[in-house]
A and B are shown apart, each in its own frame.
Chain A
């Protein structure tokens, strides 16, 4: 290729955008297939909750009839949507935060030297993460179906947009965290300080009216936890119903987190400079 040919390449062709996103999703899919242990552990985690925790608490926690449920339900049925949301939460944080870890820092830098706009690269990364999370969520729902968590067939379709929106919110949150925290030594600290608090202060394990009965402060914390709304959005969607308020909160948080993440990763914002400074791990 001679120099004058090279000079022609100033504008990025539109088709390149599609190739770029497909490449990022493809890589995520390949990694997912290669690391079978990752898939299993991602699946085992919610199943343990379903098989053991929920079974054990079946008799302790009676759940009365609340929407979207029309009859008395088993506790397993109540927790299932929360566990689906937990899969999304783990995935969103794992795929985004994995970029913080030493070996992965390089992978992030390879991504960022792509000539495509940075917001597009980050969005592609999120889409890739959501695709993987969807696979896991459906695998979980399939197994749960044999465990008497049976939603109406249409629910498995209507849950899809709810999963995508929630996945976007949680993935964007992870992306934002990966840009803000210089050092997250290991995933354990993320579990302790982010995943468990978010999961427990939500409507995933117990309905909010029950929380309100036992602790008013906790009830308000749950109300301000965006994860609560992801859980409720998924819960209603699984029964073919749309919960507008939850959808609005989740969409709003997704947009806010995504915007903040894009700003944080902007080369002019100074945050990357702080991250990439001499003190930061190479």
Chain B
């Protein structure tokens, strides 16, 4: 039987895999397709905004990438590692900030970070050192010993971002991280994550429905009813929609023309 080396391309720095690649993923809950032939990529060192109204399929996509359940069709790769076939390699390169709060309120900030480090097999002394670094980078060094319960909503989010960075991921997923925050903390968190993209070369997938959070330099993926409506650089998405600005483009791409799959039940 011939061996196909093509499946295992030689490591080539010029052709390094993107932080995240999703290829032709379709996922259905019963008869309803939550994701329909979705393909997208998050390059390294890039901020990609996943823009979509509620129910667009963002949460399903996050569940698949974080391996809460498997994709039935297509492939999801984190730095070239298939989430289904090499889950350990894929998950160890992945940091997540979920939409729901996931910190232990009764434990201190440091205890939360050390717990997460342990889940990634990082020993205590290395974890403490790293925790100091990540807290420094989100500006919360002085709160390490405080209980999470004593923090503000914005500070909790920053702790969650710090936690997601504990194991030095190459890909950071954030699922509507600014929901429920005031404008100042929202802007602070967006700026924080952009700085990480620039300084650490992390690929970021930022799911949101708040258009103001997107900068002209971002890549944009517009997801609506489980389908990719447009993706590319900011300008490319505007061109696809034939709109002067992103709010108009978003409206044009997501206003309700029933997709064909639903027009023929």
Contacts and interface: CB of A to CB of B under 8 A. Distances in A.
A56 interface: no
Contacts of B122: 16, 19
A31 B107 contact: yes
A6 B168 contact: yes
B29 interface: yes
Contacts of B68: 109, 112, 267, 272-273, 276
B69 A115 contact: no
Q: Is the interface of A mostly helix, strand, loop or mixed?
A: helix
Given A114-B91, A267-B67, A272-B69, A7 B100 contact: no
A19 B100 CA distance: 26
A277 interface: yes
A15 interface: yes
B229 interface: no
B101 A16 contact: no
Contact-residue bracket for chain B: 35 or more
A107 interface: yes
Contact of B115 (A3, A13, A26, A277): A26
A24 interface: yes
A17 B93 contact: no
Interface string A249-270: 0000000000000000001101
A35 interface: yes
Contacts, number: 140
B96 interface: yes
Given A19-B121, A113-B66, A31 B93 contact: no
Given A270-B69, A272-B68, A276-B63, A27 B115 contact: yes
Interface in B156-187: 168, 170
Contact of B100 (A30, A114, A279, A282): A282
Interface in A87-140: 102-103, 105-107, 109-117
A224 B201 CA distance: 59
A116 B117 CA distance: 12
B120 A115 contact: yes
Contacts of B69: 267-268, 270, 272-273, 276
A12 interface: yes
B87 interface: yes
With most chain A CB atoms within 10 A of its CB, the pick from B69, B98, B102 is: B69
Interface string B61-82: 0010011111000000001010
Given A103-B101, A109-B96, A115-B92, 7 more contacts: A15-B121, A16-B121, A20-B118, A23-B115, A113-B94, A267-B67, A268-B70
Closest 8 CB pairs of A and B: A23-B118, A16-B121, A106-B102, A114-B119, A273-B69, A115-B91, A115-B92, A34-B106
Interface of B: 11, 13, 16, 27, 29, 32, 34, 44, 55, 59-60, 63, 66-70, 79, 81, 84, 86-94, 96, 98-102, 104, 106-107, 111, 114-124, 168, 170, 201
